[in-house]
Amino acid sequence: PTIRIEPPAAIPSQDPRKKPPEKPTHEVDEEEEEQKIREETGLSRTGKLFGGLMNDIKRKTPWYWSDFKDALALQCVASWIFLYFACLSPIITFGGLLAEATGKNMAAMESLVSGFVCGMGYGFFSGQPLTVLGSTGPVLVFETIVYDFCLTAGWDYLSFRFCIGTWMSIILLILVAVDASAL
């Protein structure tokens, strides 16, 4: 090499690094420490109806506007494009397969609308963009089983599917209301 990097003129003392860490003067109760961490992360029971949801909103509010400003940064454009195609491709693919499996009751267009609504809602309210939002293999298998069941029972598929979605919404609303995430 033609370039030589000179060593530093003064080297800091290595004594603090070599000393073992000091033991705490008071005993740390692991249960108290765990409870404190749970409260800081919002995973403690509040005892109030929708108390955990309110705590999450209060904890997230200071960063909500900056999240939108950060998303407009030029470095995020590549992530936007990647996520767009990463979410869109399986939705269209499994939407086509879903059309065959459900007698064209649910197809690519319905999958696109549900992916859009779920993606926007999940992005606005949870702050976690990387999750399963559209049709996948297990969803396709579930819908095929439900459709076949409706055919053998003589029920309307879309009405029965609406009942399934309604009950899922009610159960999830109850779980949020009673802080079930803290269990």
Q: Structurally, how many domains does the chain consist of?
A: 1
- Of the pLDDT bands very low, low, confident and very high (cuts 50, 70, 90), residue 72 is confident
Domain-located, residue 34? no
Among the ranges given (24-28, 46-50, 61-65, 174-178), the one the predictor scored with the smallest mean pLDDT? 24-28
Tokens representing residue 79 in the block: 């992530």
Query: 23-53 burial by CB neighbour count: b if 16+ within 10 A, else e?
Result: eeeeeeeeeeeeeeeeeeebebebeeeebbb
Percentages (nearest 5) of helix, strand, coil residues in the chain: 70, 0, 30
- CB-count exposure of residue 134 (10 Å: 0-12, 13-18, 19+): buried
More confident residue, 19 or 23: 19
Domain-located, residue 15? no
Mean pLDDT calculated for residue range 151-178: 96
**Containing domain of residue 105, as a range?**
47-182
**Cα 67 to Cα 55: distance, rounded to the nearest angstrom:** 18
Domain-located, residue 76? yes
Average pLDDT score, the chain:
86
- pLDDT at residue number 134: 67
- pLDDT at residue number 74: 83
Domain-located, residue 98? yes
Among the ranges given (5-9, 79-83, 112-116, 126-130), the one the predictor scored with the smallest mean pLDDT? 126-130
Domain-located, residue 11? no
- pLDDT at residue number 82: 87
Mean pLDDT calculated for residue range 62-86: 85
Per-residue pLDDT at 22 exceeds 80: no
More confident residue, 114 or 37: 114
Per-residue pLDDT at 129 exceeds 60: no
Tokens representing residue 120 in the block: 């926007």
Domain-located, residue 29? no
Mean pLDDT calculated for residue range 64-80: 85
Domain-located, residue 36? no
CB 87 within 8 Å of CB 134: yes
- pLDDT at residue number 133: 65
Per-residue pLDDT at 33 exceeds 80: yes
Domain-located, residue 9? no
